[in-house]
Amino acid sequence: MPRSGPMTLSFPPFAGMVRKIILATVAIFFCLLLLRWIDPAIAVEVFAVGALTPTMVLHGAVWQVVTYSFLSGGILQIAFDMLSLWFMGSYLETTYGTQWLTEIYFFSVVGAALTTIAVSYTHVFHMSPTQTMDGALGGIFGLLAAWAVLMGDQKFLMFPFPISIRAKYLAIVFILIALASVLQGPSGFLSLGSLGGALFGYIYIKAAPRRGYAFAATERAFSLRNGYYRWKRRRAARKFEVYMRKHDRNVKFDGQGRYIDPDGKKDPTDKRWMN
């Protein structure tokens, strides 16, 4: 739990995109549990279609680079993943906004998948492209890396222990644990995705605009639209000047298409008198 003052056991808000991701993941988990009870063979097949398997992705199952993050292999895995996402994601979403949180989370999820696919085909540490990865650790490690960069001195309360640790040190600890797991060989396939998520989370923080790509794209679109309207206004002003000269009237507009009062009684930058 993040804290900036005295130690408390208060929980973060359960809202926004974090709530949607958690509810969707938990719902899918229980649907698969019910399906396993009804028909185990179909449940296994559905899980295999959604989980990340590098060979399947390269043969067209591109949706797996996202869907794997909504699947969990066991109750302990989903409990750890969702609690971590809730505590870190809620604080970051409250601080930087829903759009930003959505971008970095799924950027890290996809980045973790791409890293896993690339490394698995090198067969380093006995990794194999036929192995399967599931769980939200890729996105969670991306958030962890973002927290370490943006708020490295923020302290966490290590519940249930009455001790605290700074975010940057907590990120280092988890990354070292994941790296040790990868070095052990095939059993560290899931940890490979975690490292990939942390890497892409760090890349996003360093490369993305302060408020995210979607916000920057929106601002750019509005800028282009406003530029087009300004161009139309200047063009209309020039046409009006030509028209008035044909009627022996001389009117002037500035470079922005604003009328220049020949008597100088009106301020051309005063938008209150503009139509």
- Read off the pLDDT of residues 12-62 as tens digits, 9 standing for 90 and up: 888 899 999 999 999 999 999 999 999 999 999 999 999 999 999 999 999
Domains in the chain (CATH in brackets) are 11-208 (1.20.1540.10), 224-273 (no CATH)
pLDDT, averaged across the chain: 84
Q: What percentage of the chain reaches a pLDDT higher than 90? A: 53
More confident residue, 104 or 235: 104
- Rounded to two decimals, what is the model's pTM? 0.76
Helix residue spans in the chain (DSSP H): 16-38, 40-50, 54-58, 64-67, 75-84, 90-96, 98-120, 137-150, 167-183, 189-207, 213-246
Q: Which of 84, 78, 88, 87 is nearest to 11 (CA)?
A: 87
pLDDT attached to residue 7: 43
Tens of pLDDT, residue by residue over 198-252, are 999 999 999 877 666 665 656 666 667 777 777 777 777 777 777 777 777 777 7
pLDDT exceeds cutoff 50 at 4 = no
pLDDT attached to residue 6: 44
pLDDT attached to residue 8: 47
**Distance of alpha carbon 201 from alpha carbon 120, whole angstroms:** 20
Tens of pLDDT, residue by residue over 186-202, are 778 889 999 999 999 99
pLDDT band at residue 109 under the 50/70/90 scheme: very high
**Distance of alpha carbon 109 from alpha carbon 135, whole angstroms:** 10
pLDDT band at residue 90 under the 50/70/90 scheme: very high
**Distance of alpha carbon 68 from alpha carbon 65, whole angstroms:** 6
Q: Which residue has the tokens 């993040």?
A: 2
Q: Which residue has the tokens 């490394």?
A: 119
pLDDT attached to residue 271: 56
pLDDT exceeds cutoff 70 at 107 = yes
Neighbours of 220 (CB within 10 A): 10
Query: Would you state the structure tokens that stand for residue 136, as one six-digit string?
Result: 């939200």
Tens of pLDDT, residue by residue over 254-269, are 776 676 766 655 555 5
CA 158 to mean position of chain CA atoms: 25
pLDDT attached to residue 193: 93
**Distance of alpha carbon 133 from alpha carbon 188, whole angstroms:** 10
Tens of pLDDT, residue by residue over 142-171, are 999 999 999 888 877 665 666 778 888 989
